[in-house]
Structure 1
Amino acid sequence: MAVSGYSSATSALPGSSISFYLSTDSPGITSLTVERIGTTTVSSTLSTTLFTRSLPATNPWEGFGWPVSVTFNIPSNWPPGLYRLAYSGQDVLTFVIRPATQAAVSKVLLQISFLTPTAYNAAGGKSLYDYNSGGAGTRASKVSFNRSGGTPASNGPESILIRWLETEGIPIEYCSSVDLHSISTLLTNYDCLIIAGHDEYWTRAMRDQTEQFIANGGNVIVLSGNTCYRAVRLEQGNRMVVFYKYAGNDPNLNAYDTTVAWAEPPLNRPQNSFLGSGFADGAYGGTATAYTLRFPGHWVFNGVSSATTTTAFMTYEVDAAAYVEEVEGYPRVTGDQNTPLTTTVLASADLRSWTGKPGRATMSIFSHNGTVFNAGTTDWLSVLGSDSVVTTITRNVFSRLKQRITWDWENIGSANGCTALTALNGKIFMATTLNRLLQRYPIGADVAWRDIAQANNVIAMAALGDTLYCVTTDNQLWWYPASAVGQYWTSIGTGPTGGTKALAATGGMLYAVDSVGALWRTPATRTTASWTAMTAFVQDATVNAMSAYGDILFASTTDNRLLRTNSDYISESTAWVYIHHCDYSAGLAVVESVLFVATTLNVLWKIDLYGLRQP
């Protein structure tokens, strides 16, 4: 005897009800069980008469239309979780019970994907894929939740994670992907969102809410791959998944709602921009491969002594950020597919020999106010608990990211003998006490500086366009072609009258602070400077370094303060505003939204300006 069916919703609240639409090949009175998946077990038995139900004659994959077999009233004291309806120990379907009050038990939320299982589900004869729909060109463009089969398995990757988290004593709450789509305030009270299993299909509302969650300081832990690869719409009360795959086939002409891969036109929203990696540079189907760990000193690898994961476990689908191997021996993202330049490739695997789709895999981390850790492989959870390296990394990630991170400086390596710092075109440049100009990339880990030129007696630097600028101890102003190596600096006059202590550049202008703390500016050109004092701006003689983020100046001081101009653009600003501490600064630089400081203690620190709310 077999029982199949579907539920009225992907999730429900304690104290509410959920209906089941069932069919059997052996009609009669049937005993069913509703039970929670995990170490916290609650269950209830249902007895109902089941019948053999037929499928609609037309497009059954768009919904079976069966009558309700039984309605289950969920006890009000049942805990949040992933639940299954089972017959004789076998899954019939699964569903989520959400918390009655969001974040009452935990500020960590696990999203259970129902969109991806539904996309692959061929019940009724078709799925969103040709391979199980009858052959080339036979796939459906619409598939319904109102079919048997399309729910996560009770022994699948999400369930592995649930049991592991409960064993680790890490409480979480639950939602379905439909909840993330339909409840616009779902993430408001949470600190961390977990994406697990195989979560390939996302709606625009899901993605928009998750991106805003990160921008507001929420962390995301991705323990999967092929994540958010395809964009879908939901119709018919969020019970129909719509995916035309090719833009020309989609009758909806709104570009932002076109159902294609997220990275493709007309959407042009690669998932790398908010997850740090994507399937465009990823891979599919090949020989089992291990990750090679790239930055063993990173906090993610605390307690790990191996150079690779314990097992070669990746065989299915992986995501990656495009990266190059620097001559100093570390990976550096290129920024392709909108990957943030400050992304750190924690681990990598070369999968260009895979036959399904050649590519690479990257485990990564970056911050845009909130922090995103991305394991980058659908196979991650299959070895959680058995692969000691994967298990330790997962434990470290949850320890750090299950709560919001306090806004503060993070040590990312060395910066020996800094006299001035600046950044241009995704690179950080440092002048040193040894009169050398060094360069490194804005990776959130300790990497080697590259010696590229002389920098004699430099005390301040700035950069704009394709040019580096510096002021030397004798108050001379110089320029240098940023793309060149081993060239000489060219003099273009002097700094402001009375000496220069700090330099920055933005909006076509150079800004300088003189010896008494007055702010000056001049056009940023390779010709003789003509400085103008900004007399309305209050002097601060403690300023010793500057940088710019958009049309805001940031400054450090000799008494360990971090300052910013007090308006949204410099010309309207009248004074510095204190926003944080900045100890022992020797130079400041900004790449994307990240502010770097090199200190007199020979350390390089970073802090994320993306979510800055001061003043």
Structure 2
Amino acid sequence: MIEGYAGRESVTLGGELTLHISTDAPGFRLRFYRLGDTLDLVGESGEFPGTLHPAPAHPDGTPGRASPCDDWDWPPLTLPVPDGWTPGIHLVEFVECDENMAPPPLDLAHLEGPAREFFVVRPRVPGSRSRVLYKKSTFTRHAYNRADGPGPERAASLYDHPVHRPGGAGEPRGHKVSFHRPGGVIDLAYWDAPFIGWLERHGYRVEYATDLDLHEDPALLASYDLLLSVGHDEYWSERMREHARAFVRAGGNIMFLSANTCWWRVHLTDGDTAFVSDTDHHVGEEHPHLPAADQWWTPAPDGVGNPENSLTGVSFRNGGMWAATEWPGDRPRTGYTVQHADHWIYEGTGLRDGSGGETPDRLGAGTPLIGYECDGAAYALDDTGIAWATGEDGTPDDFLILGIHVLEPVHEDFHHPRWGHWNTVVREPGITSPRAATMGLHTAPGPVGGTVFTAGTTDWPVVCGREQDPAVVRVTRNLLDRLGRRRR
């Protein structure tokens, strides 16, 4: 058995990467890869001596579970990052050295699994390679990381056997997770790998950063014209919100090819190696604190009082998800009903919106574009049946709905301890429009205000990356070509 984690998931060319590795093998080697249209082997280490290190016990004494909130504190192994590497998302594979034959190198078909971790390699000068920044949603990754394989079942995360801290002594109240735990590769393989491959295949050069980079560096986005949020981007800090908002006001653009976006606020602790978020997740049979103070949209003092859709244009509370025995599950494949087909995002798609009396076309019809989680805006229909954002939920007044899909049915198996079933839950009084996945955009006020596009679905990068629908691909190209340079 071998596993490990990175001390920090973002490194700079010429800098150092710190790994923390545990194995019951006498020795191990490291293989390094760069993720692009292919998974390229870029280096391999010599042999290091192996040592087995324990996982810290769950602080609640839960049998067989490891702590999700404590630094696992395995000894560090620090390695130089070669100047000759190409910036991007890289993987390190932990390979045991024993009498058995070493496994073959990884490829894209076998990207997901344990005994490996990803990390971002950034150029020495931000923006020197591209004016587009791809933000890997690492906080969300850590929230879901169960740290339970390979080896004994020990699942613990923000969702499995979580730990709730009462707060005090400089630490906020809430559920806590540490970044210093092993986890392997899961979400990267599902959402990011297809889209990253598509970007490189079609000549779109981007640079990469993590949530922690955006949180820590208020000047980070100044080097870029476009920020990409991809897949599942659920957990955001206050500083991330502030930095993204300032970026758009200064003319920067954002593409949210994601959903369930900015649903929970997090507070960085332990020298930015862990976060705390006061959520509605249970601990055992109890809910330690309700209402959840770190819900972005909920009015203060019960929540943050800063609706996420003031930035994104949409919210998970106006969208939904589907029940599934196997993640990510199946869902309707009807796609988005097209609105305003004369808008520049639809250029070259040939899609119609029904304004000529015909039935509106659907973007992504026949593909799992809608879901598995979706965000939406409160809306009303005009006399022609076109949906317009009402703004009553915090969505900017100029948000233009370009595609919509009413969610029938919404996930009805999820039961919230305070609000009830999900299809009737977490909506402000007076909002009566059906829950609907919503695609659209808005522009910040002022002569240089940037544009924010939202796909309203987690699976846009999958459908685009796998080129399952030519119109989704063309819309993505139109967006990148237009928003990849800010207005001057």
Question: Structure 2 length normalisation: TM-score?
Answer: 0.76
Note the C-alpha offset of 1:134. 7.9
> Is residue 246–residue 260 contact of structure 1 (8 Å, CA) maintained in 2?
no
1:375 paired residue number:
455
2:5 & 2:259 partners in 1: Cα distance? 27
1:242 to 250, 254, 276: 276
1:184 paired residue number:
218
Q: Give the 5 Å matches for 1:420-439.
A: none
Deviations 1:129-174 (A, max 9, x none): 2xx328999xx81110111117664423122221111111111111
Matched, 1:297 2:351: no
> Is residue 114–residue 152 contact of structure 1 (8 Å, CA) maintained in 2?
no
2:289 & 2:184 partners in 1: Cα distance? 24
1:31 paired residue number:
29
> Is residue 68–residue 162 contact of structure 2 (8 Å, CA) maintained in 1?
no
In the superposition, relative to structure 1, how do residues 63 and 376 fare at CA in structure 2: closer, same or farther (>3 Å)? Answer: same
- Percent sequence identity is 31
1:145 & 1:134 partners in 2: Cα distance? 14
2:127 paired residue number:
103
2:407 & 2:214 partners in 1: Cα distance? 33
1:279 paired residue number:
316
> Is residue 163–residue 175 contact of structure 2 (8 Å, CA) maintained in 1?
no
1:365 paired residue number:
441
Deviations 1:401-423 (A, max 9, x none): 000135xxxxxxxxxxxxxxxxx
Note the C-alpha offset of 1:62. 1.8
> Is residue 95–residue 151 contact of structure 1 (8 Å, CA) maintained in 2?
no
Matched, 1:203 2:237: yes
2:86 & 2:132 partners in 1: Cα distance? 15
Gap runs ≥5 in structure 2: 60-66, 95-102, 107-112, 148-153, 166-173, 282-286, 324-330, 352-360, 413-421, 424-434
Deviations 1:200-225 (A, max 9, x none): 00000001000000000000011111
> Is residue 199–residue 227 contact of structure 1 (8 Å, CA) maintained in 2?
yes
Note the C-alpha offset of 1:69. 5.4
2:187 & 2:313 partners in 1: Cα distance? 28
| Corresponding residue SS for 1:342 | coil
1:288 paired residue number:
332
> Is residue 199–residue 224 contact of structure 1 (8 Å, CA) maintained in 2?
yes
Matched, 1:141 2:175: yes
Amino acid at match of 2:389: V
Matched, 1:127 2:157: yes
| Corresponding residue SS for 2:248 | helix
1:497 paired residue number:
none
1:167 to 198, 201, 220: 201
> Is residue 48–residue 69 contact of structure 1 (8 Å, CA) maintained in 2?
no
2:225 & 2:185 partners in 1: Cα distance? 27
2:86 paired residue number:
79
1:126 & 1:153 partners in 2: Cα distance? 17
1:387 & 1:300 partners in 2: Cα distance? 15
Note the C-alpha offset of 1:299. 0.8
Between 12-21 and 308-317, the greater mean CA deviation after superposition: 308-317
> Is residue 233–residue 259 contact of structure 1 (8 Å, CA) maintained in 2?
no
Aligned length: 395
2:18 & 2:371 partners in 1: Cα distance? 38
Decide which structure has greater strand share: 1
Amino acid at match of 1:100: R
1:547 paired residue number:
none
Note the C-alpha offset of 1:102. 0.8
Matched, 1:50 2:57: no
In the superposition, relative to structure 1, how do residues 21 and 136 fare at CA in structure 2: closer, same or farther (>3 Å)? Answer: closer
Deviations 1:357-401 (A, max 9, x none): 442100011100100110010011121112212111111110110
Amino acid at match of 2:134: L
1:62 & 1:113 partners in 2: Cα distance? 19
| Corresponding residue SS for 2:236 | strand
Deviations 1:419-452 (A, max 9, x none): xxxxxxxxxxxxxxxxxxxxxxxxxxxxxxxxxx
2:6 & 2:81 partners in 1: Cα distance? 13
In the superposition, relative to structure 1, how do residues 200 and 346 fare at CA in structure 2: closer, same or farther (>3 Å)? Answer: same
In the superposition, relative to structure 1, how do residues 153 and 84 fare at CA in structure 2: closer, same or farther (>3 Å)? Answer: farther
| Corresponding residue SS for 2:18 | strand
Note the C-alpha offset of 1:126. 2.2
1:337 paired residue number:
393
Amino acid at match of 2:452: V
Note the C-alpha offset of 1:44. 1.2
- Tell me how large the CA RMSD over aligned residues is: 2.6
Note the C-alpha offset of 1:249. 6.0
2:409 to 339, 353, 362: 353
Note the C-alpha offset of 1:16. 1.0
Q: Give the 5 Å matches for 1:577-596.
A: none
Amino acid at match of 1:362: T
> Is residue 118–residue 151 contact of structure 1 (8 Å, CA) maintained in 2?
no
1:6 & 1:259 partners in 2: Cα distance? 30
1:69 & 1:208 partners in 2: Cα distance? 33
| Corresponding residue SS for 1:336 | coil
2:307 to 238, 259, 270: 270
2:366 to 311, 320, 326: 311
In the superposition, relative to structure 1, how do residues 353 and 147 fare at CA in structure 2: closer, same or farther (>3 Å)? Answer: same
Note the C-alpha offset of 1:230. 0.7
1:14 paired residue number:
13
Deviations 1:479-498 (A, max 9, x none): xxxxxxxxxxxxxxxxxxxx
2:155 & 2:385 partners in 1: Cα distance? 51
Note the C-alpha offset of 1:37. 0.7
> Is residue 130–residue 205 contact of structure 2 (8 Å, CA) maintained in 1?
yes
| Corresponding residue SS for 1:292 | strand
Question: Structure 1 length normalisation: TM-score?
Answer: 0.61
Deviations 1:7-51 (A, max 9, x none): 110201111111111123x41222221111114746111232222
> Is residue 103–residue 173 contact of structure 1 (8 Å, CA) maintained in 2?
yes
In the superposition, relative to structure 1, how do residues 135 and 44 fare at CA in structure 2: closer, same or farther (>3 Å)? Answer: closer
Structure 1 stretches of at least 4 aligned residues deviating more than 4 Å after TM superposition: 134-137, 150-154, 246-251
Amino acid at match of 1:326: D
- The one of the two structures with greater contact order (alpha-carbon pairs below 8 A, sep at least 6) is 2
1:387 & 1:70 partners in 2: Cα distance? 44
1:400 paired residue number:
482
In the superposition, relative to structure 1, how do residues 221 and 315 fare at CA in structure 2: closer, same or farther (>3 Å)? Answer: closer
In the superposition, relative to structure 1, how do residues 154 and 120 fare at CA in structure 2: closer, same or farther (>3 Å)? Answer: closer
1:82 & 1:152 partners in 2: Cα distance? 14
2:188 & 2:144 partners in 1: Cα distance? 17
Which structure has the larger Rg over C-alpha atoms? 1
